[in-house]
Amino acid sequence: MEHYEELWEESENVAAECYEGVESNKIFERLEGKLLQLKEFKCDGEELSRENIFELFGDIIFYICYLSKKHNVNTFWALHKAMTNHKIDIMDD
């Protein structure tokens, strides 16, 4: 695998296979749990190991891959749109 896009597409397919028949709400709960884990470590002032950070981020991205596949989201366009909006916000400040 040479490109991030290929990794993303393969991850979408693997996630779709892993979570076939699972309601989106369950995935949102799992995603929320991973985000809360990350938040709790940062708020408590504890340091996460690089390995733990990579694992948490990997799980978060993997759940997003599933959701993007399930809801047929063009993630390139979605990320580009969000970045553009944030750039505009920065310029407005």
CATH class of domain segment(s) 4-92: mainly alpha
Residue type, 51: E
Q: Which two tokens stand for residue 77?
A: 């366009």
- pLDDT tens string, the chain, 93 residues long: the values are 678 899 999 999 999 999 999 999 999 999 999 999 888 876 555 677 888 888 999 999 999 999 999 999 999 999 999 999 998 878 876
Q: How far, in Å, CA of 69 to CA of 75, rounded?
A: 9
Q: How far, in Å, CA of 25 to CA of 6, rounded?
A: 27
Find out whether 34 and 56 touch, Cβ atoms under 8 Å: yes
pLDDT at 51: 85
Show the CA angle centred on residue 56, arms to residues 17 and 2, nearest 5°. 60
